[in-house]
Amino acid sequence: MNEAGGEALRPVAGLTDLAARVSAACGHWPAEEHRRLRAVLRHLDARTGAVAPAAWGRAHEVASVLAALHADAETVGAALLHVLLGADADRAAVREALGEGMVRLLDGAGRMGQVAEQRAGTAAASAEQAEALRKMLLAMVEDVRVVLLVLALRLVDLRHAAAIGYERRRALARETMDIYAPLANRLGIWQLKWELEDLAFRYLEPLTYRRLAQQLAERRADRERYLREVTAQLGEALAREGIEADIAARPKHLYSIWKKMQRKGVGFEEIFDVRAVRVLVAEVAQCYAVLGIVHSLWHPIPREFDDYIARPKPNNYRSLHTAVVGPEGRTLEVQIRTHEMHRQAELGIAAHWRYKEGVRFDPGVERKVAWLRQLLAWREEVADGGEFVDQFRAATQEERVYVFTPRGEVVDLPAGATVLDFAYHIHTEVGHRCRGAKVNGRIVPLTHELATGEQVEILTAKAPRPSRDWLSPHLGYLRTARARAKVRHWFKQLDREENIAAGRAVLEREAQRLGVTVEAAALCGRLRQASEDDLLAAVGRGEISAAQVAAALAELGAPPGGRDEPVVAVPRRRGEGGSGEVRIAGVGDLLAQTARCCKPLPGDPVRGYITRGRGVSIHHRDCRNLARLALEDPDRVITVDWQGAGPRRRYPVDVRVRAYDRPGLLRDVTALLAAEHVEVEAARSTGGRRRHETHLELRLHVGDMGQLARVLARIGELPNVLDVRRVGAAGEGG
């Protein structure tokens, strides 16, 4: 490892001392856990080389903190690897020697550490940004033990922050206050929360911290002794009255005292809950009985009694609070509530952290926090670590993603949001002028779905110019209704004549791509428009999408109903490009097959031709071969209609792509088709008529016209593609 701070290096023999100290700290473990720890130490023995003395000490401290939290061997082992090997830990070697769980913990700790790096050099976070950062960290967590590991690392770093520079120390403390202490608070890890807050408070407000410590004028150990005596006295009094209760006491730490002084605008002498006791009982009636016993033991302080059971707080928090003059003349706060009230206060809508931090209610984050806290409580009951991780992962599916701007600010978006959604979230004009994006410094398409923790930079043009394709749902540009509304509004503001021209271009493009011929006027009724101009203007404004146009074009190509002759279902012959059904008027049970010359798809207008010995051949209505056969023998041409394709049915179709030649073009096209679950039967590349131009001729298998329209549109968005269309629908080359 690299030398840290110019310190002398200690040989790897120091690992023996570390192993003994960590094993002693984890003495409560069963034998199996100690076996896992020894495996980690053997892995370290082969890889640490020489390590700075500070690293050995830090590794031991982090392991001791985790041991006090009853962490398992995998968590402690990951902490040792993280501290002693850091980014140099060979993931493949760790996976082989110690398992996938260890790699997951190391990667999780690394990802959470990157948040600090992303924010390095940025200004102190606002309340909204701090909350967004906390949500981001929760969203990144795939294993609850990662949170324990990261909090332990942060606590140990703060304990030794006095040795680092002033600015670095303050930045570390501010980040702890903004992110890590609230996380420990939300997860109920109180033994970390109070120390994180007190240490950060000490570095951020050193004079206030020192003055408050002098006013308190007693060591924490003395307060803890006092509370033990109070708890014992109260417990004996309750037992004499036959009341079963859980009594917990915790001395209030310096930062909490200071916060209360600020919130209430009072001096230190008016803070009565420097020492506090909480009593939990089974029933509401017992709460008031305990209150009477407390007031009989010690003298109550006037105006310091609150009945939040009879009058709950707006967030439904319920409890009895009273302050008394306890033994030795010291003030003491007593909180009394039922177990159910306590669970609601800790995990429900009245969670203590929410009214203290004053943040907006977010159901998705609430569910994850609740699960994190429950899983921390259940961890010791789950014998199988893999089962524990699976429970956590299944229970915490995220509904939001949290990404960084280039300035280190956090943006909160729905899961599945794209970089274009991000651009419109930043500002409407940024979205309108968006022409590209970088994620973590790498150019990505506008359809790139964002993942939590990514940093996004939007590349803009000088003038706004949204694309109507952005409104097409199957192209995947926009996932948020807010962004789509902004694009629609842009097109609505354009001149009507310009919208009509743009709508006509969309209509012609879709008809050309699909190989159909339908007049715009024929679409008005189906798309509920009063006139052809209204239809084209609506398409141009984006109110009617290209996908809707394509579907209407396909439907209008089918022949009208109301035939006089009976209609029967005819199965297609096997081996003819997939299975499907057509309806054939006026014939019996005949075999049917799609014609190889024009390869009609469900939704295409079709006609049937009765062949000699091969059943009925189904042609596109405009197929040139069908026209020739009809001239020779018109009696063999019959009326047919699609009955509807069932699940997994596929039909052959030929597609031609015209593009400027470039490396990887065919690879990109086939990757896109694979993502759309389209089978490629054949592919051929030929030179175009112009220099540097190429043609790709593809034979695909698709389910219907809708899938074909989506595939053609997506291919058309690939770099260097000039044109893409269906060929052979009218029998060219057939």
Q: Residue 493 above 70 pLDDT?
A: yes
pLDDT of residue 104: 83
CA distance 374 to 352: 16
Give the total residue count for the chain. Answer: 734
279 Cβ contact list (under 8 Å, min separation 6): 234, 238, 245, 246, 247, 290, 334, 335, 336, 337
Give residue 714's identity as a one-letter amino acid code.
R
Between these two residues, 676 and 294, which has the higher pLDDT value? 294
Q: Residue 520 above 80 pLDDT?
A: no
Q: What is the mean pLDDT of the chain?
A: 76
Question: Across residues 149-163, what is the average pLDDT?
Answer: 90
CATH number listed for the domain at residues 400-480: 3.10.20.30
Lowest mean pLDDT among 226-240, 388-402, 673-687: 388-402
Element (H, E) at 539: helix 532-541
pLDDT of residue 713: 80
Q: Measured between alpha carbons, how far is residue 659 from residues 443, 673, 685, 694 in Å?
A: 21, 17, 11, 6
pLDDT of residue 392: 42
Residue 121: name the closest of 406, 454, 456, 426 by CA: 406
CA distance 548 to 538: 12
Residue 733 banded pLDDT, cuts 50, 70, 90: very low
CA distance 619 to 253: 83
pLDDT of residue 529: 84
Alpha helices in 241-320 (DSSP H): 254-264, 284-297
Which of 462-466's residues contact partners 24+ apart within 8 Å by CB, and which partners?
462/433, 463/433, 464/429, 464/432, 464/433, 464/490, 465/432, 465/433, 466/431, 466/432, 466/490, 466/491
Q: Residue 246 above 80 pLDDT?
A: yes
Q: Residue 701 above 80 pLDDT?
A: yes
Question: Across residues 108-114, what is the average pLDDT?
Answer: 74
Q: Residue 335 above 80 pLDDT?
A: yes
Decide: 593 and 573 in contact? Cβ < 8 Å.
yes
pLDDT of residue 220: 62
pLDDT of residue 134: 58
Residue 256: name the closest of 333, 314, 367, 310 by CA: 333
Pick the CATH number of 651-727 from 3.30.930.10, 3.90.190.10, 3.30.2310.20, 3.30.70.260: 3.30.70.260
Q: What global pTM score does this model have?
A: 0.49
Per-residue burial over 63-72, b if 16 or more Cβ lie within 10 Å, else e, is bbbbbebebb
616 Cβ contact list (under 8 Å, min separation 6): 570, 582, 584, 587, 590, 591, 592, 593, 608, 609, 610, 638, 640
Between these two residues, 105 and 290, which has the higher pLDDT value? 290
Indicate the domain borders of the chain: 14-213, 220-358, 365-395, 400-480, 494-556, 567-642, 651-727
CATH number listed for the domain at residues 220-358: 3.30.460.10
Q: Residue 384 above 50 pLDDT?
A: no
Return the bridge partners of 455, or none: 404
Most confident of 152-166, 554-568, 577-591: 152-166
Between these two residues, 416 and 236, which has the higher pLDDT value? 236
Is domain 14-213 in CATH 3.20.20.140, yes or no? no
Lowest mean pLDDT among 80-84, 424-428, 671-675, 706-710: 706-710
pLDDT of residue 562: 36
Q: Residue 391 above 90 pLDDT?
A: no
Residue 295 banded pLDDT, cuts 50, 70, 90: very high
CA distance 129 to 182: 13
Give residue 686's identity as a one-letter amino acid code.
T
CA distance 300 to 322: 7
Give residue 618's identity as a one-letter amino acid code.
I
User: pLDDT, tens digit, for every residue of 644-685?
Assistant: 544 456 778 889 998 888 888 888 888 888 888 888 888 888
The C-alpha torsion from 401 through 403 and 409 to 410, rounded to 10°, is: 10
Residue 641: name the closest of 608, 614, 617, 663 by CA: 608
